[in-house]
Structure 1
């Protein structure tokens, strides 16, 4: 896989990710949803933290604003590291499987960091209104944007039977997380590395 092909893959993922996020942000109010199928919805939420909405302030004695800044800076360093890894394996002519996987991970990471770094300045808020792009007001400063998520697959949405101890009557939902195309790219890249580990890290290029 050549550098040009890797860049094309990264750009395609970024374009699809950002177009979908900008569309949802400028057409949906926060927590508004549209049912595509019974098991698939476009459900607009914003993630202010890491994976699954986890925040550093949940674990460290720091304020949410400081935690958000630390997380964004950490992501920037992580992207720099992944970018260098991608450049290095392409330069060395590593296995195509590895290059595709790292390209997807890099593209997904960049897609989400764009939200975190710039979206606070590019949009106004989505609480009870549809946000505008490049409007007069913005909802946060540089580095304090929120990641836009919208893909929701409640494949099973039911309740536990009442006769089951402790959890009877409680809601059971599979699959509960709401994510975006950048998350999908990262998960796909990691999945390739796990499933095709021997091929990806083979010493000779495919």
Structure 2
């Protein structure tokens, strides 16, 4: 049986997964590939696909990367669940891990379903565009920043240096 503290964090990860998948389905049903919908200066909605990892890393690697990144994300997800079991009472850390877990699983669903990740958030300045991303990517990034902050804000114990 799941501990109630762990269940809360797994439910948060599920919320991220659902938000990610619902937003992707909305974009997939409303736009054609590479169609751009201006929202306001500096931000568009655009349907694009990423066969690689962050910033399209290894996107043109020939297909093996789909399986590699899927397995990597599943391994990381398992490690996150194990860590959440041990540290579910540490709210900042558990919140961060839940966001990362939800984002990782959201993108795994895409890789398994489509062979690529659906991206649609396009941030730009003048003619310079940040690589398109999605809700899952956003959750992973926010979770990573929160993990760093958690590490910086944790009180030092007697056995830790400096």
Shorter-chain TM-score bucket reads 0.7 to 0.9
Match of 1:193 among 144, 147, 155: 147
Name the CA shift for 1:81/1:196 in 2 (closer, same or farther; >3 Å): closer
RMSD: 2.1
Aligned equivalents of 1:89 and 1:196: distance in 2? 13
Aligned equivalents of 2:135 and 2:18: distance in 1? 10
Q: Offset of 1:25 from its aligned partner? A: 1.3
Q: Offset of 1:54 from its aligned partner? A: 1.0
CA displacement 1:76-109 (0-9 Å, x = unmatched): 222222222222212xx3x211110111111111
Name the CA shift for 1:34/1:96 in 2 (closer, same or farther; >3 Å): same
Name the CA shift for 1:68/1:201 in 2 (closer, same or farther; >3 Å): farther
**Structure that is richer in helix per residue:** 2
CA displacement 1:150-170 (0-9 Å, x = unmatched): 01111x114xxxxxxxxxxxx
The runs of at least 4 aligned residues of structure 1 exceeding 4 Å deviation read 200-203
Q: Offset of 1:75 from its aligned partner? A: 2.2
Q: Secondary structure at the match of 1:2?
A: helix
Structure ID, larger Rg: 1
Q: Any stretches of 5+ residues in structure 2 without a counterpart?
A: 158-162
> Which residue number in structure 1 is paired with residue 160 of structure 2?
none
Name the CA shift for 1:116/1:70 in 2 (closer, same or farther; >3 Å): same
Aligned equivalents of 2:97 and 2:142: distance in 1? 10
CA displacement 1:170-193 (0-9 Å, x = unmatched): xxx1x5221000011010011112
Aligned equivalents of 2:92 and 2:156: distance in 1? 9
The answer to whether 1:148 aligns with 2:118 is yes
**Equivalences for residues 79-158 of structure 1 within 5 A:** 79-90=77-88, 93=89, 95-118=90-113, 120=114, 145-154=115-124, 156-158=125-127
CA displacement 1:99-124 (0-9 Å, x = unmatched): 10111111111111110112x3xxxx
Does structure 2 retain, via aligned residues, the 8 Å contact 1:152–1:179?
yes
Name the CA shift for 1:19/1:192 in 2 (closer, same or farther; >3 Å): same
Aligned equivalents of 1:6 and 1:202: distance in 2? 25
> Which residue number in structure 2 is paired with residue 180 of structure 1?
134
Does structure 2 retain, via aligned residues, the 8 Å contact 1:56–1:71?
no
Does structure 1 retain, via aligned residues, the 8 Å contact 2:66–2:116?
no
